[in-house]
Amino acid sequence: MAIAPELVDPDVSNGGAQSRSLRVRQTVTVLLLFGGYGALYFCRADLSVATPLLVDELGKHGVSHGDAIIRIGSIASFGVFAYALGKLFLGGLGDFWGGRVSFLIGLVGATGFTLMFASGLSLPLFTMAWIGNRLTQSLSWAGLIKVSSRWFDFSSYGMIIGILSISYLVGDAVARQWMGMLIEHGFGWRVLFYFAAAVVGLLLAVNILFLRESRLDAGFVEAKPNPLNLFAGSESRPKNVRELLLPLFRSRAFLVVCVLSLGCTIIRESFNLWTPAYLRDYLGYSASTAARMSSVFPGVGAISVLATGWLSEPPRRERARTDSCSLV
């Protein structure tokens, strides 16, 4: 007969061993989330890095350089739009089926649709694959937030999210460096996409095996939520979308963050997509060098992300300073 795991309270005086065990599991959880979300950016950087190669490939099939740039830009724009819709309409599903499921869906979708992108040379196929890629990836960040909030007490949210936020910057920078080396060794654009899918597929397998929804599932006491959160008065999950969204849209802080995120996303997406093409077409760098140099943009962003997370921790939380750092 199965025996339910004994709940372990890390705060008790004689619970030193259990407390260390919790810290180990928390560290493993952070590494899994960090690696998984960072890997997703291999399946975003691939289009940016491969753009000069795709332009050349489309040129061999009668598409002019200008038209190829416009069509790739359209594909990327449709992808961003799908990502935004997914954030709006799919991100909240983690509140109903759990953050782990949402996180894994993003990894599955990124792997499958990236392989689909690499399977042919058709602009409609590219568009459908990229939309599917970005749409499914839209669930992963919400899933990451959900899982991390159920593994850590609210007093650690700032630093933990700061660390996890670096994952996509590190993943993006590393992806561009490695893909640049692949181009330098003579590999074509398809190999970049297959490589990206392989990296995400590996992290998908690891997360399926070891990632748990919460520390309660692992036999520890439940993490302490922020007593000032918008749903603090609710003892159960939201019963419908209205109960989920209404408190958010009544929050001025939430709306301000949404507007700031919109502006920052426009800037980030523009630089992330077009930097390699700009470096090759206007500054004369090779495709491989342009790919590696484009890693500078996400690399320097890691510093401000970590600083913002550190400043958001009590008693250092000063909203003016945090917002200023985010805008920089």
The pLDDT value recorded for residue 264 is: 84
The pLDDT value recorded for residue 12 is: 46
The pLDDT value recorded for residue 57 is: 94
Omega cis (within 30) before 315:
yes
pLDDT at residue 9 greater than cutoff 60? no
Q: How confident is the model at residue 327 (pLDDT cuts 50, 70, 90)?
A: very low
What does the pLDDT average to over 139-156? 89
247-277 burial code (b ≥16 CB/10 A, e <16): beeeeeeeeeeeeeeeeeeeebbeebbbbbb
Q: What DSSP character marks residue 1?
A: -
pLDDT at residue 79 greater than cutoff 80? yes
Amino acid identity of 123?
L
pLDDT at residue 151 greater than cutoff 70? yes
Query: Which residue did the predictor score with more confidence, 25 or 96?
Result: 25
The pLDDT value recorded for residue 275 is: 94
Closest CA to 18 of 225, 219, 224, 222: 219
Q: Tokens for 173?
A: 């920078």
Q: How confident is the model at residue 106 (pLDDT cuts 50, 70, 90)?
A: very high
pLDDT at residue 2 greater than cutoff 60? no
The pLDDT value recorded for residue 255 is: 87
Q: Tokens for 132?
A: 């599917």
pTM: 0.82
Segment 165-183, tens digit of pLDDT: 899 999 999 999 999 999 9
